[in-house]
Amino acid sequence: MTTKRKTYNTYTKEFKLEAILLMDESDRPASEIAVKLGIKRNQLYKWKEQMVKKGDVPSAKKGRPKKADQSELATVKQELKRLKEENEI
């Protein structure tokens, strides 16, 4: 028997920022805020941790970046790998 995998909910960047702000400024516990927002309590802490580490929460985009969106470093690494393979041949 196969079971369908539960789809993940995606939240906008604005929603995440508002949730973090509500958690920080409210005197209510995080679990109560999470229930009100319809998310899990640990998700709030995860978003807050990402905010502290990176200075921003990730947006709702999914998957790998497209070729045009790749960083310059990734592009240079790909080119270096290709040139090394050509050199070996």
Q: What is the tens place of the pLDDT at every residue in 56-81?
A: 776 666 566 566 656 778 888 889 99
Query: Tokens representing 41?
Result: 């309590």
Domain ranges of the chain: 9-59
* pLDDT in the model for residue 73: 80
Q: Cα separation of 12 and 87, whole Å? A: 46
Number of Cβ within a 10 Å radius of residue 84: 9
Q: Which fold, 9-59? A: Arc Repressor Mutant, subunit A (1.10.10)
Residue whose tokens read 């196969």 = 2
Q: Give pTM, 2 decimals.
A: 0.56
Q: What mean pLDDT value characterizes the chain?
A: 82
The mean pLDDT of 30-34, rounded to a whole number, is: 91
- Pick the closest to residue 47 from 71, 17, 74, 25 (CA basis): 17
* pLDDT at residue 58, as a whole number: 65
Three-class secondary structure of residue 22 per DSSP: helix
